[in-house]
């Protein structure tokens, strides 16, 4: 575990350095032979964004791409104006392609159109850009909200008080998921949303916001939770409060490994602590695969090499309920290809996202998602 933690710290330090300085440029001769591709990140304060960045960097470092790609990273934070400024600067610096997690589906349209007019390809991953010249790679976010909302309604037999923890405001991801789930809840008048707050797709923020909610409500007031990220944290807080594991509230949520470990039957694998262990958590887990950014990098290279790429690539929605968890004991590519969807808790931290397998991205697997190392 110490080696894993050291690697994670190094990866986080590398991301921070990239945010401030960008990656160091290679020798001019080598750079001239490579495609200059920029990664424009927005909000990075959660595990998913860090994992996606590691997988993108690993793809750029993989044997099929290391001699083709000069990857540079910039981080704008949750500020559309800053992301617009950075994309303008990327174009002026000679970017040939820009892959991005956009903070808004519409705010970047003008700068993206300007980039396209200058023959720069722009590909958004996970979140969307509505400018017609942009390419988009994502799951059906509305379907993710609808399916998980319906599961929770069914679990509660159409009646109960629920807490809703949303994502990063302004993004298409948050907008579509939340709207779809709330449409389901609105069709079931017995379902009452007693609290709704943005969780920023962060376990730490989810804990903070749930603590604020519990200042005015008790766990007895809550019958279920719909959380874009945070089911692991919600269960952990209930365990800390002395609630037996068979009484923990049903939660519809994300693919964080801690959440999925909790969904395993008791004794399925040795736990790490009272929270990060299996107990048959009654839940549903969906994912927005962090490999979408790595796939965007591959598609950017395809475009630069003159290949055809669809304007929209819809990824399969990873979805599993209690009883459908399959343990990845080693994290090998073959295990994931054969359908394992949760990792031994001794291998990864609980906030790490487990839905990393993509059939089109064999270059990036467990080592990429954890430490930024490509498959070789």
Name, in order, each residue with C-beta under 8 angstroms of 206's C-beta and a sequence gap of 6 or more. 165, 199, 227, 229, 230, 233, 234
Instruction: Please say whether the beta carbons of 283 and 262 come within 8 A.
Output: yes
pLDDT of residue 31: 55
Give the pLDDT means over successive 10-residue stretches in the chain (376 positions): 41 41 43 89 92 98 98 95 98 98 97 98 98 98 98 98 97 97 98 97 97 97 98 98 97 96 97 96 95 98 98 96 94 91 96 95 96 92
Closest CA to 39 of 116, 118, 98, 89: 98
Helix (H) or strand (E) holding 182: helix 172-186
pLDDT of residue 21: 34
pTM for the model stands at 0.90
Largest CA distance in the chain: 66
pLDDT of residue 331: 86
Instruction: Please say whether the beta carbons of 285 and 259 come within 8 A.
Output: yes
**Domain 141-286 in the same topology as domain 2-139+289-316+362-371:** yes
Question: What is the C-alpha separation between 271 and 178, in angstroms, rounded?
Answer: 32
pLDDT of residue 32: 62
Determine the CATH number of domain 2-139+289-316+362-371.
3.40.50.2300
Query: What six digits make up the tokens of 315?
Result: 């990824």
Question: What is the C-alpha separation between 50 and 253, in angstroms, rounded?
Answer: 19
pLDDT of residue 329: 87
CATH 3.40.50.2300 fits 141-286, yes or no: yes
pLDDT of residue 20: 35
Burial call 290-329: b when 16+ CB within 10 Å, e when fewer: bbbbbbbbbbbbebbeeeebeeebebebbbbebeebebbe
Per-domain residue ranges of the chain: 2-139+289-316+362-371, 141-286
Query: What six digits make up the tokens of 148?
Result: 């998980």
């Amino acid at each position: 575990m110490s080696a894993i933690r050291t690697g994670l710290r190094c990866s986080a330090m590398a991301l921070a350095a990239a945010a401030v300085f960008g990656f160091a440029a290679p020798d001019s001769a080598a750079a001239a032979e490579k495609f200059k591709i920029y990664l424009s990140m927005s909000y990075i304060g959660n595990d998913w964004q860090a994992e996606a960045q590691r997988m993108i960097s690993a793809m750029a470092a993989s044997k099929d791409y290391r001699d083709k790609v000069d990857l540079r990273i910039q981080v704008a934070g949750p500020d559309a104006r800053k992301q617009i400024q950075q994309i303008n600067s990327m174009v002026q610096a000679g970017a040939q392609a820009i892959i991005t997690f956009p903070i808004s589906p519409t705010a970047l349209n003008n700068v993206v159109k300007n980039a396209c007019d200058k023959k720069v390809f722009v590909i958004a991953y996970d979140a969307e850009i509505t400018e017609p010249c942009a390419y988009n790679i994502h799951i059906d976010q509305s379907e993710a909200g609808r399916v998980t909302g319906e599961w929770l309604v069914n679990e509660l037999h159409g009646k109960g008080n629920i807490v809703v923890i949303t994502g990063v405001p302004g993004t298409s991801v948050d907008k579509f998921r939340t709207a779809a789930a709330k449409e389901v809840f609105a069709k079931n008048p017995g379902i009452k949303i007693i609290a709704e707050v943005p969780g920023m797709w962060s376990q730490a923020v989810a804990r903070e916001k749930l603590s604020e909610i519990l200042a005015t409500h008790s766990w007895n007031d809550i019958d279920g939770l719909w959380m874009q990220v945070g089911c692991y944290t919600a269960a952990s807080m209930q365990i800390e409060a002395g609630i037996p594991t068979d009484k923990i509230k049903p939660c519809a949520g994300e693919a964080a490994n801690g959440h999925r470990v909790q969904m395993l039957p008791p004794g399925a694998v040795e736990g790490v602590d009272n929270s990060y262990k299996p107990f048959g958590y009654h839940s549903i887990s969906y994912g927005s695969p962090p490999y979408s950014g790595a796939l965007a990098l591959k598609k950017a290279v395809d475009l630069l090499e003159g290949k055809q790429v669809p304007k929209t690539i819809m990824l399969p929605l990873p979805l599993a309920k209690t009883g459908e968890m399959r343990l990845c004991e080693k994290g090998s590519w073959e295990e994931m290809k054969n359908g394992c969807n949760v990792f031994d808790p001794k291998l990864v931290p609980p906030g790490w996202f487990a839905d990393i397998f993509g059939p089109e991205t064999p270059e990036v697997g467990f080592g990429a998602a954890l430490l930024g190392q490509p498959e070789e």
